[in-house]
Amino acid sequence: MSILTIILSILLPPVAVLLKHGLGKEFLINVLLTILGWLPGVIHAFYVNSK
């Protein structure tokens, strides 16, 4: 994972997932988690981007 991905995962989790995986299931899940709370979105972004 690059420094840019780490920074985006913290500040804008959906953008980090979008750049790595595109528009898809992971992006939609991350958007919903980020709407529910910032921390779940960040955790999901790190989990998805570490694969």
C-alpha dist (Å) from residue 48 to 8, 13, 39? 13, 10, 14
Residue pLDDT, tens place only, 16-41? 999 999 999 999 999 999 999 999 99
Is this model's pTM higher than 0.75 or not?
yes
pLDDT at 45 over 90: yes
Instruction: Say how many C-beta atoms besides its own lie within 10 A of residue 25's C-beta.
Output: 9
Please tell me the predicted confidence (pLDDT) of residue 1: 80
pLDDT at 8 over 90: yes
